[in-house]
Amino acid sequence: MAQQSTLDVIVSLAKRRGFVFQSSEIYGGLNGCWDYGPLGVELLKNLKEEWWKAMTYRDDIEGVDASILMHPRVWEASGHVANFTDPMIDNKQSKGRYRADTLIEDYIAKLEKNGKTQKAQHVAARLAAAREPEDFYNIIVEEEITDPVSGTKDWTPVRYFNLMFKTFVGPVEDTNSVVYLRPETAQGIFVNFKNVMESSRQKVPFGIAQIGKAFRNEINTKYFLFRTREFEQMEMQYFIKPGTEGEQFERWREERLQWFLNLGMKRESLRLKPHDKLAHYAAAAADIEFMFPFGWGEVEGIHSRTDFDLSNHEKFSGKKLEYIDTVTKERFVPYVIETSVGASRSFMAFLCNAYDVEKVKNAANEEGGAGEGEERTVLRFHPRLAPVKAAVFPLVKKDGMPEFADKLYRDLQKSFKVDYDESGAVGRRYRRQDEIGTPFCLTVDGDSLTDNTVTVRHRDSMQQERINADAVKEYIWKALL
Ligand code: GAP
């Protein structure tokens, strides 16, 4: 049997344990869309809460929650109607449809892998300069890039494809009723810049943060949650005085990298990468990339957007969006540093980061679990991200242990997402919790009934200690600080 890739194993664990399901699975699924199950929704909620606290529980950033459907002129002003496009190409034999730039990038990666560094650099430079559909087409034809499916070079011309999903407001489907599902949450922030600044009495520099769904009609979806058509973003626009963008860009790049590290990302699995090619709105940009099982991939973009968005919204709406410094009386349209991270994509990154299979070294007191030297699967989530914070087990289903355990479980449930399990050997129960990343397992045994203590077993070290049952809540709180 062919060996499964690490990503396949993680996707299958995610389904089996209720993190993520294919959307509309009983109908054969809908490409590029996923549903979060009972544990996934907890993990996603915890992740968003961590971001929300880091970004808005402070003096200089306010939150908003704008609507998904916005006035269609917003997307003309933002440049998305004209520029939010990907170059698309079809292979006539296989009928495969591809992003032309991705085909070329894959070809460059192959050249690099085969040690043809100079040639790879040459093609990369051509790709970076490509603007018109013919530029991409010429590279594909001249480099004799073949279709990964049919192996042929029978290509259609390249054409640009707009990624915005279109729909209609009201019963008449004509050009006057067209609206778009937002392809980014950022514009809901820009159009509310004045409302937020005035209502919250903020002064530049200050930021506005938002978490919400975004939609992109991607030509190719891939790698599980990495590139999907419906996803969630966590974006923050920091409004600053022109001239301070260099220092603010650097500051946010570092602050955002630190956020991932604080939540347990391994430093060697993260890197900062400046953009070679800038989006239509950006003056400088860098990505935070994570080492996914398929290779490095962007999880967050930090963009120096100048006054591109606010100035365009001024032009298109006819409303002034300037800032007046009450002390110096200076008037200016603020510049913006944006931090934009995918909630769904970073969910996948945290899942991959947490996934581990290890040989058990200390199997003491783990009766019925994997023995010494056997393998266990463990999700090493930071306790704040873990979907379930603790699991309570009565050692056996008699002698008052279930009643003691149930009381502890009900008490903890008032504060945390906790689990209760009384079936099978304790070691097996530990393994079930390891596989979903529960940091603490609490076992109630015969001694608990006399001295009111329970055993705490730690997910990562598998070490055990005995603590008073009344101190358990405090114990878990401390781990979440
Ligand atoms: N407002 C700027 C903006 O939207 P972006 O680089 O296009 O910038 C930001 O997107 C983040 O949104 C990405 O780093 C990624 O985490 C997430 N993202 C973008 N497209 C996505 C997709 N198709 N599926 C999942 N996540 C996506």
Q: What is the pLDDT of residues 240-270, one digit of tens each?
A: 999 999 999 999 999 999 999 999 999 999 9
CB atoms within 10 A of CB 176: 9
pLDDT at residue number 275: 86
Q: What is the pLDDT of residues 373-400, one digit of tens each?
A: 789 999 999 999 999 999 999 999 999 9
Q: Residues with Cβ < 8 Å from 23, sequence gap 6 or more?
A: 29, 30, 33, 34, 35
Query: What CATH number is given to the structural domain containing 443?
Result: 3.40.50.800
Mutate to test the pocket of ligand 1, among 223, 229, 233 (most ligand atoms within 8 A of CB): 233
pLDDT at residue number 277: 74
pLDDT confidence bin for 283, thresholds 50/70/90: confident
Residue 289 sits in the same domain as residue 197? yes
Residue 386 sits in the same domain as residue 425? yes
Q: Return the amino acid letter for 381.
A: F
pLDDT confidence bin for 368, thresholds 50/70/90: low
Give domain status of residue 468, yes or no: yes
Residue 58 sits in the same domain as residue 136? no
**3-state DSSP call for residue 145?**
coil
Which of 104, 137, 162 delimits the end of a domain? 162
Residue 223 sits in the same domain as residue 273? yes
Residue 201 sits in the same domain as residue 269? yes
DSSP 8-state code for residue 181: B
Give domain status of residue 259, yes or no: yes
pLDDT confidence bin for 370, thresholds 50/70/90: low
Give domain status of residue 363, yes or no: no
> Looking at residues 416-424, what average pLDDT do you find?
97
**3-state DSSP call for residue 242?**
coil
pLDDT at residue number 363: 59
C-alpha 462 to ligand 1 mean position (Å): 38
pLDDT confidence bin for 282, thresholds 50/70/90: confident
- Range with the poorest average pLDDT among 45-54, 150-159, 331-340, 359-368: 359-368
CB contact at 8 A, 209 and 52? yes
Give domain status of residue 250, yes or no: yes
C-alpha 457 to ligand 1 mean position (Å): 39
Please check the confidence at residue 32 and state whether its pLDDT lies above 90.
yes
Mutate to test the pocket of ligand 1, among 75, 184, 290, 336 (most ligand atoms within 8 A of CB): 184
Residues of the domain holding 303: 3-71+168-351
Q: What's the domain count of the chain?
A: 3
Cis peptide, bond prior to residue 72, ω within 30 of zero: no
Give domain status of residue 360, yes or no: no
Which of 162, 184, 199 delimits the end of a domain? 162
| Tokens encoding 393 | 């087990």
Residue 172 sits in the same domain as residue 320? yes
pLDDT at residue number 355: 98
Query: What CATH number is given to the structural domain containing 223?
Result: 3.30.930.10
pTM for this model (two decimals): 0.93
Please check the confidence at residue 362 and state whether its pLDDT lies above 70.
no
pLDDT at residue number 364: 56
- Which residue, by CA, sits nearest to atom 16 of ligand 1? 342
Which of 162, 190, 209 delimits the end of a domain? 162
- Which residue, by CA, sits nearest to atom 7 of ligand 1? 184
pLDDT confidence bin for 170, thresholds 50/70/90: very high
Please check the confidence at residue 314 and state whether its pLDDT lies above 90.
yes
| Tokens encoding 278 | 């800038």
Residue 233 sits in the same domain as residue 381? no
Residue 174 sits in the same domain as residue 302? yes
DSSP 8-state code for residue 157: P
| 183 CA: nearest ligand 1 atom | 4
What is the chain's mean pLDDT, rounded? 95
C-alpha 232 to ligand 1 mean position (Å): 9
pLDDT at residue number 21: 98
- Which residue, by CA, sits nearest to atom 24 of ligand 1? 227
